[in-house]
Amino acid sequence: MVTVLLVGLALLVQVTLVNRVPLPGGEAPDLVLLVVVACAAQRGPVAGAVIGFGTGLAVDLLPPAHHVAGQCALVFCLIGFLVGRMVERTAAAVVPAAILAAVAAPLLAAAVAALIGTPGITGTAMLSRLPGAVVCNLLAAPLVVWGVGRLFGRTRRGEHSVRPPVAHSADGTRGVA
């Protein structure tokens, strides 16, 4: 439930605020992608793929959609799975996974758009827009991934990032549960 609310909030903020704020270079960070990355890092590869697919489909259908339905769903699904898989193997891979996703997602999205023949996707257009998109994602990734990690309150599925809860025994002493 928290994931659905988080993704919904990211979609709302992306469409109403981030996409409308004029940033240098004309690019903006993809907060929705970064939330998918952070959720996949917390939930694992299968949940990351499902979250990525559902979120990508919402992005595809949310106005002003000007691309083929399913394009973002494919990209977000792949990125969610890969990030979840990297973090599943080692918890220390959260930062490298977020960096990889911030760089790979715009490249993968451009490659998918070029493969399906989206008008306006040329080599010149990709070279001029991709660096700005990657830099924006890289700058926003630490904050988003950290915030979602704090919201979930754990570093990996089932593991707590803070001290374990303290339990009181029958004799009134405190111990770790």
- Where do the domains of the chain lie? 2-156
Q: Which fold is adopted by the domain 2-156?
A: Arp2/3 complex 21 kDa subunit ARPC3 (1.10.1760)
pTM, entire model = 0.81
pLDDT in tens, the chain (177 residues): 889 999 999 999 998 998 888 777 778 889 999 999 999 999 999 999 999 999 999 999 987 777 788 899 999 999 999 999 999 988 888 999 999 999 999 889 888 888 888 777 777 777 778 888 889 999 999 999 999 988 887 544 444 443 344 455 566 565 555
Distance CA(108)–CA(101), nearest Å, equals: 10
Q: Are 113 and 121 in contact (CB under 8 A)?
A: yes
